[in-house]
A = this chain, B = another copy of it.
Amino acid sequence: MKYCFGIDIGGTTIKCGFFTVEGNLLEKWEIPTRILENGKYIFSDICETINKKLQEKGIDKSEVIGVGCGIPGPVEKDGHVSLITNLGLKDINPEKVLTELVKLPVKAGNDANVAALGEQWVGGGKGYSDLVMVTLGTGIGWGVIINGKILAGAHGAAGECGHMKVRDNEPETCGCGNKGCLEQYCSANGIVKEAIRKLKKVDTPSRLRELETVTCSKIFDYMKENDALATEIVDEWAQELAKGLAHVSSVVDPEAFIIGGGVSKAGQIVCDYLLKYYQPLAFHGNRGCKIELAKLGNDAGIYGAAKMVIE
């Protein structure tokens, strides 16, 4: 039996998975992310938890083919990472650093790309070799998989489609520094912001007005209960995001979009809405593309990380 580890490094916790190379998740656990002193403990902590797990299971390192790592920032072709502010990492090659510590082959990738690979391997994208995963959370994470492999980009910045400029007169600045990015309107946070703008602008009655805090899940709940304003908000969101999906299709022509993240918890209706607007907007050659829900939730990252070291 051969094994591997899939590690997903986040800003507060590091998710760890111990897998067989066939894709069976044998065990998963988390350790806290220690951001102190430019993140110097992150990789030694990962090394320690891996060694401990192998000792606990009585498994020798010769039976482990490697460690995959998802990292919340761009990873360049040679594995180099320039800057990941929220981990305090700067000018580091996580593959080299971790390999030296853990004495196993290590592969690193951008976390959104890695999650896409996980979904493609055993999740909502199983059976597709070309797909784009769209994770709708605080921001929008995108991962492009072509022929079963991550498309990382020349500067490690492929799949940053949330930063397509889609509006010209946005007063607020996006996290990336530009204004009018798709992510400002279509992430979970974006939907809520747009809803609040709309609530101020029009006086259509809506149960949303009764809420102390408008949340994305409430907007989708009320839409399902036929609240007119909530429906309008979801409708406009779907139109905007569908245009983004059509843009992406015109570049890489995937078999499917896999929709994950908080917004996708509203269920199949999310895909139905997106497909309704995607179809007429897309170039005719791209209309065969499916829109489906992700299946692995927060585990997509550890699955994809493990997949990186297999083959």
Contact = CB atoms under 8 A, between A and B. Distances in A.
This protein's copies in its complex: 2
A144 B247 CA distance: 14
Contact of A288 (B146, B155, B177, B254): B155
Contacts of A246: 164-165
A154 B289 contact: yes
Contact of A250 (B74, B161, B280, B285): B161
Interface string A143-185: 0101000011111111111111100000000001110000000
A84 to B, nearest CB: 12
B284 A177 contact: yes
Given A164-B246, A247-B164, A247-B247, A153 B284 contact: no
Band of interface residues on A? 35 or more
Chain A contact surface mostly:
loop
A162 B177 CA distance: 27
A243 interface: yes
A283 B5 CA distance: 32
A119 interface: no
A144 B243 CA distance: 21
Interface in A259-311: 280-281, 283-286, 288-289
Given A154-B255, A284-B176, A160 B250 contact: yes
Contact of A248 (B129, B251, B288): B251
Interface string A96-111: 0000000000000000
A280 B160 CA distance: 15
